[in-house]
Amino acid sequence: MAPLCMSNLNIVLLGPPGAGKGTQAAQIRRSRGIPHISTGAMLREAIQAGTPLGLEVKQIIESGGLIGDEVITRLAFDRLREPDVSAGFLLDGYPRTIPQAEALDAFMAGRPLTIVEVVLSEEDVLHRLASRLVCGECGMNSQDTGGDHTCHDCGGPLVPRVDDAEEVVRNRLAVYRRQTEPLVKYYDGRKSFHRVNGAQLPDDVTRDILKALDSGVI
């Protein structure tokens, strides 16, 4: 089935672990009324639902293998063919590699694609993730601000994320630099590519992204 006709507001959100991509994606989704498509969330949902793709991914993970470009691309493109993306979309977690980016360009077939990189230094990533908590009930990310460690969304308990230990984070950053940073070079030079300072307060990052979208800079 061919991809649907999409609007001009088709966004790829890039950035290292801890850059706040999930927070920014939620803000953009609410502001612009376009779906937030997270390949990580889609993989987890597919595994939990026991879909054919989910069973395939589960087998790959349990065997110690890596989920390749073809599987992730199939997952992303199946989602991009759904009717709700006709008003645009925001991709979070795809593409992660040059082959995935090339596949996305071919899938879009000349339709506009905006790329936003949320920039955050390694030092800032480590500092931010050291204070990050996650709700044990709904999975929402939060920050350790010295409060009552209760989720603002559902009231569940906030606990440290197991993947935010410093050694794990450094490994995730190394994977990011090796696989995803080359995408910056791939997209750099396009008029639709824009960098935003991710070290600001979340509302200020959102402001800069939306300002750029509204101005047509990206």
Of the candidates 122, 136, 112, 104, the residue with the CA atom closest to the CA atom of residue 37: 104
Query: Is residue 96 one of the residues assigned to a domain?
Result: yes
Q: Is there a domain that residue 161 lies in? A: no
Q: Which residue among the candidates 29, 32, 44, 172 is catalytic per the annotation?
A: 172
Catalytic residue check, 161: yes
127 part of a folded domain: no
pLDDT of residue 179: 79
Domain of residue 36, residue span = 10-120+179-203
Residue 172 covered by a domain: no
Confidence of residue 163 (pLDDT cuts 50, 70, 90): low
Catalytic: which of 161, 185, 190, 191?
A: 161
In this prediction, residue 209 carries a pLDDT of: 92
pLDDT class of 9 with cuts at 50, 70, 90: confident
Q: pTM for this one?
A: 0.76
Confidence (pLDDT) at 218: 41
Reported as a single tens digit per residue, the pLDDT across 32-46 is 999 999 988 888 888
Residue 3 above 50 pLDDT?
A: no
- 172 is a catalytic site residue: yes
- Asked about 132 being catalytic, the answer comes back as yes
- Euclidean distance between CA atoms 164 and 172, whole angstroms: 9
128 is catalytic: no
Is residue 144 in a domain? no
pLDDT of residue 100: 95
Q: What is the DSSP annotation of 50-113?
A: T-HHHHHHHHHHHTT----HHHHHHHHHHHHTSGGGGG-EEEES---SHHHHHHHHHHHTT---
| CATH number for position 14 | 3.40.50.300
Cβ atoms within 10 Å of 145's Cβ, excluding its own: 9
Q: Is residue 25 part of a domain?
A: yes
> Contact 118/196 with Cβ under 8 angstroms?
yes
Pick 61 or 28 by higher pLDDT.
28
Is the pLDDT at 183 greater than 70, yes or no? yes
207 is catalytic: no
| Catalytic-labelled residue, pool 96, 111, 178, 195 | 96
Task: Count structural domains, the chain.
Answer: 1
Mean pLDDT, the chain, as a whole number?
Answer: 83
Q: What is the pLDDT of residues 95-111, one digit of tens each?
A: 989 999 999 999 998 78
* Residue 43 in domain: yes
Q: Mind listing the pLDDT tens digit for each residue in 49-71?
A: 888 888 888 888 777 666 889 98
Q: Are 120 and 198 in contact (CB under 8 A)?
A: yes
Tell me whether residue 158 is in a domain.
no
pLDDT digits (tens, 9 = 90+) for 132-154: 677 777 766 665 445 557 787 78
pLDDT, average across residues 81-108: 93
